[in-house]
Amino acid sequence: MARIVQKYGGTSVGSIEKIKMVAERVIEACREGNQMVVVLSAMAGQTDGLIAMAKEINPDPDLRELDVLMSTGEQVSVALFAIALKSLGYEARSLLGFQAAIHTDDLYGKARIRDIEIDRITRNLDAGRIVIVAGFQGLNARGDITTLGRGGSDTTAVALAAALDADVCEILTDVDGVYTTDPNVYRKAQKMDFISYDEMLEMASMGAKVLEIRSVEFAKKFNVPIHVRSTFSKERGTMVIAEIKDMEKVAVSGVAYNKNEARITIRKVPDQPGVASRLFDPVFKAGIVVDMIVQNTSQDGFTDLTFTVPKGDFYKTMKLVSDVGKDVGAETVLGDEDIAKVSIIGVGMRVHAGVAKKMFSALAEKNINIIMISTSEIKISCIIEEKYTELAVRVLHDTFGLNHAKEEIL
Amino acid sequence: MARIVQKYGGTSVGSIEKIKMVAERVIEACREGNQMVVVLSAMAGQTDGLIAMAKEINPDPDLRELDVLMSTGEQVSVALFAIALKSLGYEARSLLGFQAAIHTDDLYGKARIRDIEIDRITRNLDAGRIVIVAGFQGLNARGDITTLGRGGSDTTAVALAAALDADVCEILTDVDGVYTTDPNVYRKAQKMDFISYDEMLEMASMGAKVLEIRSVEFAKKFNVPIHVRSTFSKERGTMVIAEIKDMEKVAVSGVAYNKNEARITIRKVPDQPGVASRLFDPVFKAGIVVDMIVQNTSQDGFTDLTFTVPKGDFYKTMKLVSDVGKDVGAETVLGDEDIAKVSIIGVGMRVHAGVAKKMFSALAEKNINIIMISTSEIKISCIIEEKYTELAVRVLHDTFGLNHAKEEIL
C-alpha cells in the first residue's frame, strides 16, 4: 500500500463531466490499495472570473480580500469532487486550507507555506477516506485566508506529500510529461522519463510551464518524487527526482526558450564603484525582476551594461534607467524588445567538456547572431534575435542528440 | 454612537453596481458615528447556480459537501464588499463563518446557531473597522462548514445583533417594510411602523416572506429590535419589536393569505382513541408538514377529520391517508386543492371582543363560504375557496380599518 498525493489542475476538473472522470481515476488508485490525498485547483476559468469581478470594483483590489475571493474557486472544486466520489460509493472528505491546517506567512496573493499539521488528514486517511484538499490556499497566523500565487496548487500538493511522507506526488495535467523541448516548436521533442530537480527548475524558469517553480524547490528540499503525467491517459509520464549519477552521462537534457524578455543596454557607463548599484536601484524598487545581466570589461574608464527584463516591464524600465543613466553620466540607453532567450540545460554539462563551444558553433552555422551569453553550472543561455527562436531550438535539439528517447540511460 | 448590524439580501448585492451602492450606504451610517457590522447573502442567483452544479453530479448530493459548496456564495459577496469599502477609503474586514466563530450544531443544510464568540468582531470594531460577516454559514464542533438553510442570513444577522448587544438589527431588502397585507393584492395596504415579534411570526408563517421565521424567533428570544427597510431608500421601514401595551389598541394588525395549501378530509372515522394518531403517523413519517387540523364532534361513534398540507405534498398525502384510512375503517377520503387560507392577525384580539364574529360576517356578506376555521391567541384563519382569496383579503382589510396609516397609535 502506497500513500499517494495527486494534484489535478484546472483543466482536469474544468467541467462536471471531467470531475466525474477524474473521480473514477482516483477511485481506481484507491481500489489498488493506495491511501489517496487529492489536491485540486479551481475549475478552469473560475479564478480569472473572480479576479475580473474584483477589478470591476477596483483595478487594484485589496489583497487580503482578493484572497478570500479567489479561494472560493478551489472550494467549489473540492466540494463537487467529494460529492462525485460519494455518489460513486466512496468515503471522501473535502478539506479547505484552514481545515487541512496549511499555515502560511502573511503575503496575501503569494504566501509561502510554513507548516502543515497533518492530524486531520491522517485521521481521515486512517478511517479509509479519500481526502480532497483545496489547493492554492492556506491560513496565516492571524486566521486570514491566504493564497499561494499562480500555480500554487502544485506547491500545496508537494508540501502535503512532504508532510505526509507520501511515496509520490503525482501532478496530473493536460500534457503527458516533461519534454526535451516544446513539442509545438519541434515535433522531434521527446518525453523524458526522468529529470533532476535542478534541471526541472531551469526548465520551469525558462517557460516550460508544466510545474510551478516553487513546488520544484519544495520537492528538492524535502526530496519528494514528483510524477508529471496526463490526466487523460494511464501512460507513465516524467519523474522529477533527486540527481543520480547516471544523469550526467548526457551532456544536455533539454532545450528551453523564452520570448518574454526585452533587452536594455546602457552605453558608456563611468566605471566607478557603486554605479551598477545606483543604476539598478530604481528598477529593483519598482519590483521589476531582472533576469540576465552582462557587463563588459571596462575600456578607457567606461563600460557597457546590458540586462533583460520581462517584456511587460520594458517601457517602465527604460524610463527608470534613462533617468538614472543621466545622473550617473552614461552616454545613452538603448532597448530592444525583439529578442528571445534560448537555453540548453543538463547536469551532464559539469562533466562534459566543450558543451558551450558546441552550442555557439551550432548557432553560428545557421547564421544566428548571439547577442548575450549567460551561464550557470547546468545551463547555458543565449539571447538571440526573436525571429530565430524556433530555428535555434531545433538546431540545438539536433546538435545535442535529443531527437530520440534515451531510455537506456536510466 | 450606536452599534448597528445590517443585513443585505441577495438582490441588494446582486451586481457589482449594487455592491458599490450598498457600500456607500454603509459608509454613510459609519460616518454618522455608528459601529457597523454588515451581514451579506450570496449575490442573487449564485446559490441556485451552485446547487444546480451539485445536482448535475448527483440529484441528492452529500449534505456536508453541499454546505462547503454553497458557502462560497456568501464568501464571494463579503470579499467583493470589503474590496468596495476599502476602495472608498474605509477600513473593512470580511469574516467567514469560521472566522466570526459562529458555532452551529451538526445539521448540514439547516444548522442552528449555538453560540458566537464575538472577540474577533469586537476587536475589529474597536480598531475602527467595518466588519463584514458572511451570512448563512457557520462551523460545527467537528470543524466542518455548515449552512443555516434558506433565509439563514437573516438569522446570522439577528444572532450577531444579540451576541454583540447591538442597538438594532436592520434587515435591508427590496421591500420597504412590513405591510398590513400584500400590496399586490390590495393597493390600500399600509406599511406598518411597528409590529410585535408574535404578530410577525404569524405574518411570516403565512407567506409574508419579508423575514425568515427563525430569525424572528431568535429576535424575540433575545429581544433584538429588527428594522425591516428598503436597501434603495432612506425611508423608515417597519420595526419588529417586543409587544408593548399600546399595540393592543388595534384589534387586527394585518391580513395574510396563503394559496399554497390543500385540504384533505377523512369521512366517518370511527371515533376511538388512537385513530387520529394512526391516521397521521405515515404523514408525519414522510416529513410532510400538516398545518390546520379540524375534527368535528363525534356523531353516532364516527367523526370527520380535515387537515391541510402544502400543495406540493397533496398527492403523496392522499395516497398515504387513503391506505391508512381503509385500515382504520374510515368511509372515504376526499381532497381539494382549490383552497386558500385567509388570516387576520393582531395582539389586540386578546382584549377586543367579537373579532371572530366580525370576520365571519364580513366574509358571509360577500358570499364567501368558510370551509375550515382555526384560531390562536392572536390569529384567526379561515380556509375558503381559492378564487375568493383576493376578495376576502380586501374585505377583511376594509372591515378592520387597516386602510389608513395609524401612526397615532404608537
Q: Locate CATH 3.30.2130.10 in chain A.
A: 245-410
| Contact between chains at B66 and A76 (C-beta distance less than 8 A) | no
CB A267 within 8 A of CB A223: no
| Contact between chains at B76 and A65 (C-beta distance less than 8 A) | no
CB B226 within 8 A of CB B218: no
CB B186 within 8 A of CB B397: yes
| A20 CA: distance to closest CA in chain B (Å) | 8
Write down how long chain B is: 410
CATH of domain A245-410: 3.30.2130.10
Reported confidence tier of residue B313, pLDDT bands at 50, 70, 90: very high
User: Which chain B residues in 4-33 lie under 8 Å from chain A, judged by CB atoms?
Assistant: 16, 19-20
The secondary structure of A92-132, three-state, reads EEEECCCCCCEEECCCCCCCCEEEECCHHHHHHHHCCCEEE
Asked if B143 is an interface residue toward chain A (Cβ–Cβ < 8 A), one would say: yes
CA B236, CA A399: separation in Å to the nearest integer? 81
CA B308, CA B381: separation in Å to the nearest integer? 12
| Contact between chains at B54 and A87 (C-beta distance less than 8 A) | no
CA A318, CA B322: separation in Å to the nearest integer? 86
CA A314, CA A383: separation in Å to the nearest integer? 16
CATH of domain B244-410: 3.30.2130.10
Q: Which residues contact B83 (CB under 8 A, 6 or more apart)?
A: A54, A57, A58, A61, A62, A65, A66, A69
| B293 CA: distance to closest CA in chain A (Å) | 40
pLDDT at A366 over 60: yes
The pLDDT value recorded for residue B161 is: 98
Asked if A109 is an interface residue toward chain B (Cβ–Cβ < 8 A), one would say: no
Average pLDDT, chain B: 92
The pLDDT value recorded for residue B406 is: 55
For A20-46, write each residue's pLDDT tens digit.
Answer: 999 999 999 999 999 999 999 999 999
| B235 CA: distance to closest CA in chain A (Å) | 27
Out of A188-202, A394-408, B75-89, B158-172, which region has the weakest mean confidence (pLDDT)? A394-408
Tell me chain B's radius of gyration from C-alpha atoms: 24
Please give the average per-residue pLDDT across B129-146, as a whole number: 97
CB A132 within 8 A of CB A95: yes
Q: Locate CATH 3.40.1160.10 in chain A.
A: 3-174
Residue type, A173: T
Reported confidence tier of residue A203, pLDDT bands at 50, 70, 90: confident
| A162 CA: distance to closest CA in chain B (Å) | 24
Please give the average per-residue pLDDT across A144-169, as a whole number: 95
| Residue B131: how many other CB atoms lie within 10 Å | 27
Asked if B68 is an interface residue toward chain A (Cβ–Cβ < 8 A), one would say: yes
CA B53, CA B44: separation in Å to the nearest integer? 16
Q: Which residues of A touch B68 (CB under 8 A)?
A: 75, 78-79, 82, 94, 96
Closest by Cβ to B58, choosing from A83, A93, A99: A83
Please give the average per-residue pLDDT across B232-249, as a whole number: 91
pLDDT at B65 over 50: yes
CATH of domain A3-174: 3.40.1160.10
| Contact between chains at B83 and A19 (C-beta distance less than 8 A) | no
For B332-360, write each residue's pLDDT tens digit.
Answer: 999 999 999 999 999 999 888 889 999 99
For A209-266, write each residue's pLDDT tens digit.
Answer: 788 888 999 999 999 999 999 999 999 999 999 998 888 888 899 999 999 999 999 9
Look at the alpha carbons of A288, A291, A297, A299 in this order and tell me if their dihedral is positive or negative.
negative
Q: Which of A21, A46, A66, A72 to mutate to test the interface with B (most CBs of B within 10 A)?
A: A72
Q: Locate CATH 3.30.2130.10 in chain B.
A: 244-410
Q: Which residues of B touch A143 (CB under 8 A)?
A: 99, 120
Q: For residue B127, count CB atoms less than 10 angstroms from its CB and return exposed for 0-12, middle for 13-18, buried for 19 or more.
A: exposed
| B78 CA: distance to closest CA in chain A (Å) | 8
Q: How far is CA A280 from the centre of its chain?
A: 26
Please give the average per-residue pLDDT across A110-115, as a whole number: 94
pLDDT at B137 over 90: yes
The pLDDT value recorded for residue A272 is: 83
Please give the share of chain A, as a percent, with pLDDT higher than 70: 97
SS3 label, residue B295: strand
